């Protein structure tokens, strides 16, 4: 085949591929972030990654999580639509990039970021950007503009460094990915525990709260979190039965349809590690 003809054919193929990508993007464009007022002084930003909560105060804003790096400008814009005060503190619920991706930009904007020490170690091991400068073991508190926010480590679950964030004045909890509206993803690369997960959430029920913000999905109530404790326990037993036939292909045998859940790729990825833990 002449060189010129081959080049033209390759160019045509590339244009067709690009057109296909553009069509796919145009039919499924990135979803904009939405702002929801949860209480008189607490807001949540939903979409494209983990749920972000923020509390404006007279001295600045306390933020919980910051989605992906690309979301940082829009998160900042959403906050500015509510208050002209700067973001002063960010509390990371855990290390995953859809919750810490904006760390780097917010550090550059002079916010201070706080994370549980195991979660920071996980970030360091994963060579993630935006490492927080402050860690805590069991509990950390932020006091700003007459408001208090508490970050507490209650034990293993989604990872070995999940923090529950409590807003006492709002009677609200941000649970990170300890509570989602889907099948629980046990990140075995980050010390998760399907054995301990429901017990960890049970400890969170001791807080005085009405509103619960999940890591993903719509804002719920205390009863929703109580129900998720049962869901995690039920999922564990489904996985245990599937593991009995061998860990390597156990994911193929996990059926969560009776719980109204569909095991996604992330859940499936954690099944072999859950089998290993359950065998101990």
**Is residue 36, in this structure, part of any structural domain at all?**
yes
**Is residue 167, in this structure, part of any structural domain at all?**
yes
Phi and psi torsions of 150, nearest 5°: -115, 130
Nearest-CA neighbor of 187 among 267, 79, 81? 267
Check pLDDT > 90 for residue 204. yes
**Is residue 238, in this structure, part of any structural domain at all?**
no
Please give the pLDDT value at position 45: 98
**Is residue 94, in this structure, part of any structural domain at all?**
yes
* Residue 217 CA: distances (Å) to CA of 92, 139, 214, 261: 18, 26, 6, 14
Helix (H) or strand (E) holding 63: strand 60-64
Please give the pLDDT value at position 78: 98
CA distance 18 to 142: 49
Check pLDDT > 50 for residue 194. yes
Q: What percent of the chain has pLDDT over 90?
A: 88
CA distance 67 to 59: 24
Residue bearing the bigger pLDDT, 14 or 175: 175
**Is residue 165, in this structure, part of any structural domain at all?**
yes
**Is residue 16, in this structure, part of any structural domain at all?**
no
Residue bearing the bigger pLDDT, 76 or 25: 76
Predicted confidence band of residue 6 (pLDDT cuts 50, 70, 90): very low
Q: What is the pLDDT of residues 29-38, one digit of tens each?
A: 456 899 999 9
Q: What is the pLDDT of residues 226-245, one digit of tens each?
A: 999 999 999 999 999 999 99
| Domain assignment of residue 211, given as a range | 31-222
Per-residue pLDDT, averaged over 191-205, amounts to: 98
Write b or e for each residue in 232-260: b if 16 or more Cβ atoms lie within 10 A of its Cβ, otherwise e.
beebbebbbebbeeebeebbeebebeeee
SS3 state at 21: helix
Per-residue pLDDT, averaged over 215-224, amounts to: 98
Are residues 116 and 153 in contact, defined by beta-carbon separation less than 8 angstroms? Answer: yes
Please give the pLDDT value at position 31: 64
**Is residue 161, in this structure, part of any structural domain at all?**
yes
Check pLDDT > 80 for residue 12. no
Per-residue pLDDT, averaged over 154-169, amounts to: 98
CA distance 222 to 42: 17
CA distance 119 to 122: 5
Look up the pTM and report it: 0.88
Strand partners, 37: 43
Phi and psi torsions of 174, nearest 5°: -105, 120
Check pLDDT > 70 for residue 107. yes
Per-residue pLDDT, averaged over 168-191, amounts to: 96
Per-residue pLDDT, averaged over 202-222, amounts to: 98
SS3 state at 234: helix
- Average pLDDT over the chain reads 91
Assign residue 85 the CATH number of its domain.
Answer: 3.60.15.10
Please give the pLDDT value at position 32: 83
Please give the pLDDT value at position 36: 98
List, as own/partner pairs, every contact residues 243-249 make where C-beta atoms lie below 8 angstroms and the sequence separation is at least 24, other chains included. Answer: 243/271, 243/274, 243/275, 243/278, 243/279, 247/271, 247/272, 247/275, 247/276, 247/279, 248/272
**Is residue 48, in this structure, part of any structural domain at all?**
yes
Please give the pLDDT value at position 123: 98
Are residues 37 and 43 in contact, defined by beta-carbon separation less than 8 angstroms? Answer: yes
Q: What is the pLDDT of residues 32-71, one digit of tens each?
A: 899 999 999 999 999 999 999 999 999 999 999 999 999 9
Number of domains in the chain: 1
Nearest-CA neighbor of 222 among 234, 237, 204, 239? 204
């Amino acid at each position: 085949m002449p060189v010129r003809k081959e080049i033209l054919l390759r160019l045509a193929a590339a244009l067709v591929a690009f057109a296909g990508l553009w069509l796919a993007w145009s039919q499924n464009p990135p979803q904009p972030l939405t702002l929801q007022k949860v209480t008189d002084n607490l807001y949540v930003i939903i979409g494209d990654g983990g749920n972000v909560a923020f509390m404006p105060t007279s001295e600045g804003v306390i933020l919980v999580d910051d989605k992906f790096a690309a979301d940082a400008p829009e998160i900042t814009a959403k906050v500015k639509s509510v208050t002209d005060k700067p973001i002063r503190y960010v509390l990371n619920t855990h290390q995953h990039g859809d919750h810490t991706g904006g760390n780097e930009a917010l550090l550059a904007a002079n916010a201070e970021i706080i994370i549980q020490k195991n979660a920071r170690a996980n970030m360091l091991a994963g060579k993630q950007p935006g490492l927080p400068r402050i860690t805590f073991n069991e509990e950390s508190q932020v006091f700003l503009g007459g408001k208090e926010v508490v970050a507490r480590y209650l034990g293993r679950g989604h990872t070995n460094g999940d923090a529950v964030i409590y807003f006492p004045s709002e009677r609200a909890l941000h649970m990170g990915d300890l509570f989602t509206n889907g099948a629980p993803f046990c990140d075995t690369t980050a010390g998760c525990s399907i054995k301990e997960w429901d017990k960890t959430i049970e400890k969170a029920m001791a807080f005085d709260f009405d509103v619960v913000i999940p890591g993903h999905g719509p804002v719920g109530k205390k009863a929703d979190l109580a129900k998720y404790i049962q869901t995690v326990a039920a999922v564990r037993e489904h996985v245990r039965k599937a593991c009995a036939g061998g860990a390597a292909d156990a994911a193929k045998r996990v059926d969560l349809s009776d719980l109204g859940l569909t095991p996604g790729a992330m859940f499936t990825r954690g099944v072999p590690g859950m089998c290993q833990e359950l065998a101990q």
